[in-house]
Each structure stands twice: as structure tokens, then as C-alpha cells.
Structure 1
């Protein structure tokens, strides 16, 4: 087992290893006294992993209840969020109690937002069960839900008390879900560590998770509130989030980000924002590994949702521009040029 310590406004450890789910209660008990725990998960993960985690918690003195909602991005909405808050209240959780988010990015984001806002903030831990959540969304304290106009538009910064990642849970993932995580890991390689990409392609999960966690840890520690360099982690996300919304989330997050990285790289080169065109490398790498990179929407359709991007400040938007494989920078462009930027990125 590897341990990483994140030094943010609320410091916490990230534990990465094999067969950690049966140890969740013991690992948690090393840092927290027994208390009430509300385990939040989705309908798919509930049938696979919930019982082993609940048993581990109860064996270590925790009083456990469970909240389950339907799997999928469509559950990441204000109705599910409300239902979770009501359930927490019915269980009489107090500020000294705890939420355990067991699942992928949807479970983690929604549970974290509930933790941030219930009683104005209670503790929670992340137990990611997907590759995507392990390499990205479980770390860094971004929580939230989707609104009708776009993705992750309501939320809060709320750091977990611990992250416990058992990568044996990836054994039950379908190929499409593995690709979701691979895209985010390739993104981390693109912005900061080129040789990470080879490990992603080799499915060297332990190495990839460790390096992605280390990269994100260093960025989050430097910019916890996402006002500067943390925006590098959004490479491919301006277009990616638009694709998710336009497809009614039929294009999953990682697959959308993969397409977004290609479009944004091509656009940055064609607009003269960089001398390096990363799009041929990304296209070959992603297509060889099973990604569909087609963009079935027009410039106007993509622009509509891109204008809700959280990297917009005033009349500008910060785009992530590759300089070489393994190094990117932020480049502000006027919002009036965003439509042209998107057009330049489309084939």
C-alpha cells in the first residue's frame, strides 16, 4: 500500500493498494473514533462492493446506514442531492459523524457536495471504485452536481478526510469505463509527465494512480481554489463538457475529454497559440487504444455550452495549450474568439 499526504486547508492521506476494501474500517479507525457513518453509493456499486465495506466499518465500531441512488450521470442532479440531504437528516447524522462515498465520479462528486452543505459541512471520505475516480475526481476536494445548462455548475470546495483506493475494483469495470480513466490519466501525462502515457497504455494501474495522484496533489496544494494553475487539469474539458451535455451524457466524461483534447490541441495550433500541434499524437494514441474521436456537433452547438465554462473570467476564457508532450500552459483568449477557436479545432 502506498500513502500520499495532501497538504491543503484540511490535510488528508490518500491510500492506494490492492484489496483495501475489507480494510476500510480499520484504516479509518486509525484516524477517527467510531461514529455514525452514512455510506452513499449507486445501484451498480451497491450490489458489488457495499456489503464488504459496511461489514468492515461495523467490525471496527462504526454505526452504518446506507443511501443508494440510480447509477449514471443523470443522477448527478439537484433532485438526487436533495434526497441525499433528506436521508442524512433522517439518520440524524451530526457534525461529528461521517459520509463514505463508495463509487465512481458521480457518487464522489454528489456525496462530497452533500457533505459540504449538510449542517454546513461534515466529514467524508472517498472510496473510488472506478479508474476515473481514482486518478482524478476523488482527489482535490471539488464537489458538485450538474444543472440543466451545464456540468458541475453547482458545488463547493470540500476536501475529504481520507481517500482509500483499492484498484482491484477495476477488475469489474467494462472496457468503456476503463477508457474513461485512461483519458484522464493521459491528460495528466500531457500536462506534466510525458512518460506517464506509456504506463497508461500498458495498464500499469498502480504506477498510473500513484503518479496521477502525485501530479494532482502538487497542483492542488499550489492552487486549492482553482484560480490559476489548477485549471491545467481541465485540458480537454471545455469541449468535453459540451459534448457530454449535447449528447445527454451518452458520451461519457473520459471519452468526451479525449475528443476535447484533440480539438483543443488542433485549435491552439491553428490559431497560432503554440508552435506545437499535439493533435496528431493524441489522435493516434487515443484511436489505437479504442477511443472514438468523432465530433457529431457543430461549432454553434458546442459554443452554446462552452460559454458556461468555469474557466471564464470577465470577457476571457483560459484555454490549456500544449507546448510539448508533457507540458502545457494556460492561455487567455477573448470570449468573442471562442467560436473561432472551436471552429479551428474541428476537422
Structure 2
């Protein structure tokens, strides 16, 4: 197991990364002072795969567990869904000390995090990401939100978890498209801040695709470490943290016009290439670097252009 410490003063927390960690969740929560009852928020697919494993770990440690199920899809990141969850938390007599565990990918992490940040002015949040995109990126940094109107993440907060548990065993049940989608954000971190890590991804992409435990643990750890270092310096996204938006200006536009048929990581991948080409034309990024980026994104199984849209 590897560990990343996110140092944010009183909001500091650990990210545990490794295989088989779901079964250790109960013990980990006891270590940081939790007891009594807690709530898991997840979706039907993740619940069927990992709900029982997580619940067993928690009940073995003496926790009373409620599992709240949210249908899959970006449209569930809404005030309406949050409102339903508030009612269910109230019916469970959840208190300000009752942890909410976000078990799932980016949508669940955002939604459950938003609910944790706002229910009774804030209850403890535990992130348990189950996708590569969430483990390597979206579960780190404290941004939680719901969508409103036509805008993503319009209503939200900065709210950090007390603990994040990234069990890389959950990545074994991802589809090839889901794995590739997460790789976009991993590649982004290497591209913006760590050339050595970018080279590591180039050299080990086949092992990533074959779901090698050692390599998966390494890429989640290094990606989390890169993002944590940025968040530590700019927690509220007022300056340096903007670098994490590389690929996202174009990417968010693609998500919108495609009505989310292009997934987040896929859109960011296209955005990174478009923005790299702009950088090259401005004399900032060399042609060889643009080619390397494009080649790695393509090898990762991600789109490199959208012919139906006039992006460049």
C-alpha cells in the first residue's frame, strides 16, 4: 500500500492506495476515531460489485450501515437528488458526526461530497473512488458540486474528506472505455508537471491496459501526489491550481455540445491536443512534444479529434 498525505492544515488527510483496501475500511475508520453508524452513497452497479464487501468490513468493526442508492448518470448530480438524500439521512437519524462514504466514480464523489458538505452544515466525508478517473483526479482536492440548469458543477463547495481509500482492485471491473477515460487525467498530470511520469506512462501503457497491480498502484499514487501538491499550494483555486484545468476549456465545451455522449476524460483528451496545438502556434510548446502527447493519448485508446466539430 502507498499513502499520500494532503497537507491542508486542519483539513489535512491521507489517501490510501493499494489492492484489497475495501476490506480494511472499517479498521481505518476506527483508527481516525469514528464509531456507531454511517451512510454509504453509491450507484446500483457499484453496489452490486462492492457494496457487500464494504458493508461487511464496516459491520465487522461494529458500524451500523445504511446504503443509499442513486441511479447512474450525470443527471443525478442535481439539487433534486441531493434533496432526496437529505430526507433519507434524516429518516436514518444521521447526525453531524455521522460519516458519509462516497463509493463510486466521479458523479457519486461529487454528489455525495456535496450532500456531506451541506447536510447539517457539514458531516464527515470519506471518499472511496472506484474508477481510475476518480482515484487519480476527481476525488482529490475537495471540489464537490451539483449541476444546475445547463451548467456543470454550478452549485458547490470546497469540502475535503477525512480519508480517501483508493482500492485499485476496483479498477479490474472497469470497461476498456472507462479505463481509457480515466487515463486522460493521469496523462494530463504528467504533461503539466512531471516529464518523468509522462515517460513512465509511455513506457508502461501496455501494463496499465493489462491491469498490472504494481503499475496501477504506481500511476494512481503518482497522479494523486501531483494533484495533492498543487492543491496544497492553492486550495481554493485562485491561481496555480488553474493548471489542473489543462484540456478542460475545450473539453467542457465538447461535453456540452455532445450532450455528454463524449465522456469527460475523452473530451479532456481532445482538449489537451487542441490546446497543445495552440501552444505550439504561440511558440510555447515544441512540435515534438505535441506529437508525443498525441501519440500517448491515441495509444491510451482516447480520441484525438472530433471530425464533426470544427475544433481547429
For normalisation by structure 1, the TM-score amounts to 0.83
Aligned residue in 1 for 2:48: 47
Aligned residue in 2 for 1:115: 116
Task: Please state whether the residue corresponding to 1:195 is helix, strand or coil.
Answer: helix
Q: Provide the C-alpha distance between the structure 1 equivalents of 2:123 and 2:42, rounded to a whole number of angstroms.
A: 17
Q: How many residues align?
A: 300
Task: Please state whether the residue corresponding to 1:294 is helix, strand or coil.
Answer: coil
Stretch moving more, 2-11 or 52-61: 2-11
CA shift at 1:125, angstroms?
A: 0.3
Aligned residue in 1 for 2:240: 229
Query: Where in structure 2 are the equivalents of 1:1-347 lying within 5 Å?
Result: 1-8=1-8, 9-200=10-201, 201=205, 202-203=207-208, 204-270=215-281, 272=282, 274-277=284-287, 278-295=289-306, 298=309, 346-347=311-312
Residue pair 2:117, 2:159 contacting (<8 A) in 1 also: yes
Q: Provide the C-alpha distance between the structure 1 equivalents of 2:185 and 2:299, rounded to a whole number of angstroms.
A: 16
CA shift at 1:59, angstroms?
A: 1.1
Q: Provide the C-alpha distance between the structure 2 equivalents of 1:296 and 1:152, rounded to a whole number of angstroms.
A: 28
**CA offsets per residue over residues 176-223 of structure 1, 9 Å max, x none?**
100111110000000111222343324121111111111111111111
Q: Provide the C-alpha distance between the structure 1 equivalents of 2:177 and 2:157, rounded to a whole number of angstroms.
A: 29
Task: Please state whether the residue corresponding to 2:259 is helix, strand or coil.
Answer: coil
Task: Please state whether the residue corresponding to 2:147 is helix, strand or coil.
Answer: strand
Residue pair 1:35, 1:98 contacting (<8 A) in 2 also: no
CA shift at 1:289, angstroms?
A: 2.7
CA shift at 1:91, angstroms?
A: 1.4
Residue pair 1:74, 1:249 contacting (<8 A) in 2 also: no
Which ranges of structure 1 fall in alignment gaps of 5 or more residues? 300-345
For normalisation by structure 2, the TM-score amounts to 0.92
**CA offsets per residue over residues 59-116 of structure 1, 9 Å max, x none?**
1111110110111222222222222222212211111111000011111111001100
Aligned residue in 1 for 2:212: none
Residue pair 1:199, 1:207 contacting (<8 A) in 2 also: no
Task: Please state whether the residue corresponding to 2:195 is helix, strand or coil.
Answer: coil
Cα RMSD (Å) of the superposition?
A: 1.5
Q: Provide the C-alpha distance between the structure 2 equivalents of 1:237 and 1:150, rounded to a whole number of angstroms.
A: 14
Which one has the bigger strand percentage?
1
Residue pair 2:3, 2:221 contacting (<8 A) in 1 also: no
